[in-house]
């Protein structure tokens, strides 16, 4: 079942609680990955940043019209998941290092993709 809205297991996806990107520096670790339905996977953006999982969960529970008790129950379930898989508590320095590495990776991949597209267009124009 989806760990966020408790819907039955149809078309479940993986959801990282802390996004493994250049903004948040989460890890691809079992304690950071939960089963999630397609409806719960996209997070709302506020001020150019996606909501952290606790606020995302509060959004979902609020949209379903549930009480704060339901929110606390679901949050507890997710915290138990994090603890069960022993997701490491990262220091600010570790998160900064991970986000710097992720940013460098994104920059290099983006540069390579742009080079590939430019090369592809150049070849295309030479062949026409």
Footprint on this chain of Zn ion (rule: CB under 5 A): 2, 4-5, 7, 37, 40
Q: What is the dihedral of CA 43, 14, 91, 24, to 10 degrees?
A: -30
Q: How far is CA 39 from the centre of its chain?
A: 14
- Sign (positive/negative) of CA torsion 89, 49, 4, 21? negative
**In terms of CB distance, is 1 or 100 closer to Zn ion?**
1
Q: Shortest gap between Cβ of 24 and Zn ion (angstroms)?
A: 20
**In terms of CB distance, is 2 or 57 closer to Zn ion?**
2
Contact 14, 33 (CB under 8 A): yes
Q: Shortest gap between Cβ of 55 and Zn ion (angstroms)?
A: 16
Q: Shortest gap between Cβ of 41 and Zn ion (angstroms)?
A: 8
């Amino acid at each position: 079942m989806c760990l966020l809205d408790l819907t039955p297991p149809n078309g479940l996806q993986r959801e990282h609680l802390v996004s493994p990107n250049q903004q948040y520096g989460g890890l691809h670790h079992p304690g950071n990955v939960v089963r999630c339905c397609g409806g719960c996977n996209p997070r709302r953006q506020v001020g150019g940043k996606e909501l952290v999982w606790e606020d995302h969960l509060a959004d979902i529970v609020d949209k379903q019209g549930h009480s704060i008790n339901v929110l606390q129950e679901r949050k507890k379930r997710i915290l138990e998941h994090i603890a069960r898989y022993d997701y490491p508590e990262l220091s600010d320095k570790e998160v900064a290092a991970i986000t710097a590495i992720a940013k460098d990776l994104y920059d290099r991949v983006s540069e390579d993709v742009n080079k590939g597209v430019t090369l592809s267009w150049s070849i295309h124009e030479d062949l026409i």
